[in-house]
């Protein structure tokens, strides 16, 4: 706790005086460039993997160059002024020139920035409309209804029954259209390497269009304060290749299948726990129990929960041990989690975890 903090503090102090972090104390503009260039970062907005993020990054560099020039002019002029126009030892008390201004200069430093901003404004407005462009009808579009809930994400694929949680699967090079809404408060969907963010507002559905062009896994999280566990509302976007065993089509096929039947005795016991101890009043497992109506408190569809790599919106890695920990006491994993603590026995928790993990 506090000790951990202070220990880390001293560790960092030592590191800071010996390593690259010292570079931060170097001139400010240089540091910003250095920092912005570190591109191996898992959520780097400037290392785009989707067209939305690419447009944003392009604008970043455009404005970064402009800002660097302006900042250099201001700091340069200030530095020269400090060097040249300081009162020096031995100077008498005579007054410096008492002129009140210069009309020509006023006009110059009003008109030139105005012209620059007009050009930038036109480019910027172009970017705004480009990002809002609806995808053309004839191309393949993966359309997903995204519902932000305290504190997880529900992804309902429009052209199938697939409903998954927190892990959004899409295809490399294929247009994606997310339709964002919320079941409770305002959330914001943000996967920095793929696209800028978009609010998920209750009662409304806003589109977010992007096309991922790099395969792999990209993480992000909710970006609008949404309550106690706002920090634990992660998103993982998995961009599948078009072909191969790991293809998007194969993933869809797997998700469309009904839930796997339990095979071991433990899994069978777990299924029983799911059906009898209350889990099924909020969770769907297709072929076992389907909810007829969804509500704000409805939990994720668990038909293929075993195929996910994480649970509780990226709070835990998905394995039997963590699943048991989660179902036994959700609030110990995630503050104020809305999932009911059913007071399962250790045996029940273990069984239901085994069953859920088998639902690949």
Partner 1 sequence: MSAKLHDIEALQAPEPHMHYERPGKTGLMDWLTTVDHKKVGVVYWAAGAFFLLVGGLEALLFRIQLAVPDNDFMGGETFNGLVTMHATTMVFLAIMPMTAGFANFLVPLLIGARDVAFPRLNAWSLWTFLGGALVINASFLFGGPPAAGWTGYAPLTGPEFGGTGIDFWWSGLALLSASSMAASINFIVTILNMRAPGMTLLRVPVLGWMMLVIQFLLALSFPPVTVGLILLGFDRMFGTTFYNVSMGGDPQLWQHLFWLFGHPEVYVLILPAMGIVSEILPVFARRPLFGQTAVIFSGIFIGFVGFGVWAHHMFTAGMGPVADAAFAATTAIIAIPTGVKIFNWLGTLWGGKMTYPTPMLFAIAFIPIFTLGGLSGLMHAAAPLDLQQHDSYFVVAHFHYVLVGGALLGLFAGTYFYFPKVTGRMMSDGLGKAHFWLFLIGMNITFFPQHMLGNEGMPRRIYTYPADAQWDLYNMLGTIGVIIMTVAMLIFVYNVIVSVKKGAIAGRDPWDAATLEWLTESPPKVQNFDFTPIVLSERPVWDHKYTEGMEIIAPEKGESFHMPSYSWKPMISSGFVLMLIIGILLNTFMPGNWLWIVAALAAVGVVGSVWAWVSEPV
Touching partner 1, residues 332-351 (CB under 8 A)? 335-336
| Smallest distance from partner 1 to CB 306, Å | 23
**291 or 316, CB closer to partner 1?**
316
Q: Contact with partner 1 (CB under 8 A): which of 87, 89, 104, 140?
A: 87
Residues 329 and 346 sit within 8 Å (Cβ to Cβ): no
270 binds partner 1 (CB under 8 A): no
| Smallest distance from partner 1 to CB 267, Å | 30
How many other CB atoms sit within 10 Å of the CB of residue 47? 18
Q: Contact with partner 1 (CB under 8 A): which of 23, 30, 65, 71?
A: 71
Which residues fall within 8 angstroms of residue 174, CB to CB, at 6 or more apart?
A: 140, 141, 142, 211, 212, 242, 248
The CA distance from 313 to 57, in Å, is 27
Q: Contact with partner 1 (CB under 8 A): which of 135, 202, 241, 278?
A: 202
Residues 256 and 344 sit within 8 Å (Cβ to Cβ): no
134 binds partner 1 (CB under 8 A): no
Nearest CA-CA partner of 279 in 229, 192, 342: 342
How many other CB atoms sit within 10 Å of the CB of residue 271? 23
| Residue 201 exposed, middle or buried by CB count within 10 Å (0-12, 13-18, 19+) | middle
The CA distance from 121 to 125, in Å, is 6
The CA distance from 344 to 350, in Å, is 9
Q: Contact with partner 1 (CB under 8 A): which of 14, 17, 91, 137?
A: 91
**213 or 277, CB closer to partner 1?**
213
Q: What residues between 26 and 45 interact with partner 1 by CB under 8 A?
A: 28, 31-32, 35-36, 38, 41-45
241 binds partner 1 (CB under 8 A): no
**51 or 154, CB closer to partner 1?**
51
**221 or 284, CB closer to partner 1?**
221
Residues 149 and 335 sit within 8 Å (Cβ to Cβ): no
Q: What residues are paired with 176 via a beta bridge? A: 142, 210
120 binds partner 1 (CB under 8 A): yes
| Smallest distance from partner 1 to CB 177, Å | 14
| Smallest distance from partner 1 to CB 218, Å | 10
**247 or 297, CB closer to partner 1?**
297
Nearest CA-CA partner of 205 in 175, 230, 183: 183
Sheet holding 163-165, edge to edge: 163-165, 152-157, 141-149, 175-182, 206-210
Q: Is the peptide bond before 292 cis (omega within 30 degrees of 0)?
A: no
Q: Contact with partner 1 (CB under 8 A): which of 23, 30, 65, 130?
A: 130
Q: If you ran DSSP here, which 8-state letter would residue 262 be given? A: P
265 binds partner 1 (CB under 8 A): no
Q: Contact with partner 1 (CB under 8 A): which of 52, 212, 270, 306?
A: 52
| Smallest distance from partner 1 to CB 94, Å | 5
245 binds partner 1 (CB under 8 A): no
**60 or 290, CB closer to partner 1?**
60
Of the candidate spans 192-200, 248-256, 261-269, 281-289, the one that interacts with partner 1 by CB under 8 A turns out to be 192-200
Residues 184 and 193 sit within 8 Å (Cβ to Cβ): no
Residues 70 and 29 sit within 8 Å (Cβ to Cβ): no
8 binds partner 1 (CB under 8 A): yes
2 binds partner 1 (CB under 8 A): yes
138 binds partner 1 (CB under 8 A): no
Q: What residues between 148 and 187 interact with partner 1 by CB under 8 A?
A: 180, 184-186
């Amino acid at each position: 706790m506090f000790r951990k903090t202070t220990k880390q503090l001293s560790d960092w102090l030592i590191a800071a005086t010996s390593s690259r972090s010292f570079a931060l104390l170097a001139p400010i503009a240089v540091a910003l460039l250095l920092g912005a260039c570190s591109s191996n970062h898992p959520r780097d907005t400037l290392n785009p993997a989707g067209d939305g993020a690419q447009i944003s990054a392009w604008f970043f560099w455009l404005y970064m160059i402009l800002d660097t020039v302006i900042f250099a002019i201001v700091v340069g002029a200030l530095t020269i002024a400090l060097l040249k126009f300081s009162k020096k030892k031995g100077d008498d008390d005579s007054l410096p020139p008492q002129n009140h201004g210069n009309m020509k200069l006023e006009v110059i430093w009003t008109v030139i920035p105005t012209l620059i901003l007009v050009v930038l404004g036109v480019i910027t407005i172009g970017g705004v409309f480009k990002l809002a462009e609806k995808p053309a009808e004839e191309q393949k579009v993966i359309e997903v209804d995204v519902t932000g809930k305290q504190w997880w994400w529900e992804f309902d694929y429009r052209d199938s029954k697939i409903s998954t949680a927190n892990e959004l699967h899409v295809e490399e090079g294929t247009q994606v259209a997310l339709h964002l809404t919320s079941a409770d408060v305002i959330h914001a969907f943000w996967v920095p390497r793929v696209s800028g963010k978009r609010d998920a507002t209750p009662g409304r559905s806003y589109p977010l269009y992007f096309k991922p062009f790099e395969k792999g896994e990209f993480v992000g999280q909710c970006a609008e304060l949404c309550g106690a566990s706002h920090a634990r509302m992660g998103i993982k976007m998995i961009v599948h290749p078009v072909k191969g065993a790991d293809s998007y089509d194969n993933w869809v096929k797997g998700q469309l299948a009904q839930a796997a039947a339990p095979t071991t005795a433990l899994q069978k016991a777990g299924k029983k726990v799911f059906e009898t101890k209350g889990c099924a009043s909020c969770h769907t497992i297709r072929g076992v129990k389907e909810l007829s109506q969804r509500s704000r408190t409805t939990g994720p569809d668990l038909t293929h929960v075993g195929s996910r790599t994480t649970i509780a919106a990226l709070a835990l890695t998905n394995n039997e041990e963590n699943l048991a920990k989660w179902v036994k006491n959700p609030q110990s994993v995630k503050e104020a989690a809305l999932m009911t603590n059913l007071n399962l026995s250790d045996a029940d928790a273990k069984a239901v975890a085994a069953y859920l993990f088998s639902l690949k």
